[in-house]
């Protein structure tokens, strides 16, 4: 079994539209020093919460990911955000990485916000960000 983070990384880097715009510049958790624009940073913001029902626990878990897209123009950020939506709309199903896999039952965009980063040194160029929150339901082994 792979982690949800590994599955989302594989989906974003393996999606033709996203890869065409950011290449392999998709970073789980943190951004490297002096990154090349544009790029994507994502992280899981809520723990996998188990789904329960009257019969007990299930193999379904819910988690939330924040996906931040950075670029040097608003139009580039919007184009990448659109491709991320396409990539994650295709996420339900089995995502395989190497010998491991993860079954994603649902992927849903919860919120999306556009901002301009203004807290920059005077020598810095303007930076644009789209921050999206996605909710995922995925399966885990019960044993």
The pLDDT score that the predictor gives to residue 47 is: 78
- The yes-or-no verdict on residue 143 having pLDDT over 70 is no
Coil, helix or strand at residue 96: strand
Could you tell me which of 68, 110, 107 has the C-alpha nearest to residue 90? 107
User: What secondary structure letter does DSSP report for 120?
Assistant: S
Could you read off the pLDDT of 18-40 as tens digits, one per residue?
Answer: 999 999 999 999 998 888 999 99
One-character DSSP codes across 16-40: HHHHHHHTT-EEES-PPSSPPSSEE
Of the candidate ranges 32-36, 76-80, 81-85, the one whose mean pLDDT is the lowest = 32-36
pLDDT for 1 equals 85
Q: Copy the structure tokens of residue 10.
A: 């594989």
Q: Where are the alpha helices (DSSP H) in 26-135?
A: 74-89
Instruction: Report the alpha-carbon distance of residue 94 to residue 106 in Å, rounded.
Output: 11
């Amino acid at each position: 079994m792979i982690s949800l983070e590994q599955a989302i990384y594989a989906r974003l880097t393996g999606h033709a539209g996203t890869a065409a715009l950011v290449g392999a510049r998709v970073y789980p958790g943190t951004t490297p020093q002096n990154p090349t624009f544009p790029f994507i940073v994502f992280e899981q913001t809520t723990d996998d919460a188990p789904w329960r029902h009257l019969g007990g626990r299930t193999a379904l878990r819910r988690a939330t990911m924040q996906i931040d897209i950075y670029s040097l123009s608003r139009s580039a950020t919007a184009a990448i955000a659109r491709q991320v939506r396409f990539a994650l709309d295709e996420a339900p199903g089995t995502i395989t990485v190497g010998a491991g896999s993860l079954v994603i039952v649902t992927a849903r965009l919860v919120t999306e916000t556009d901002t301009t980063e203004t807290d920059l040194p005077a020598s810095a160029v303007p930076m644009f960000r789209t921050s999206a929150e996605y909710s995922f339901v995925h399966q885990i082994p019960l044993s």
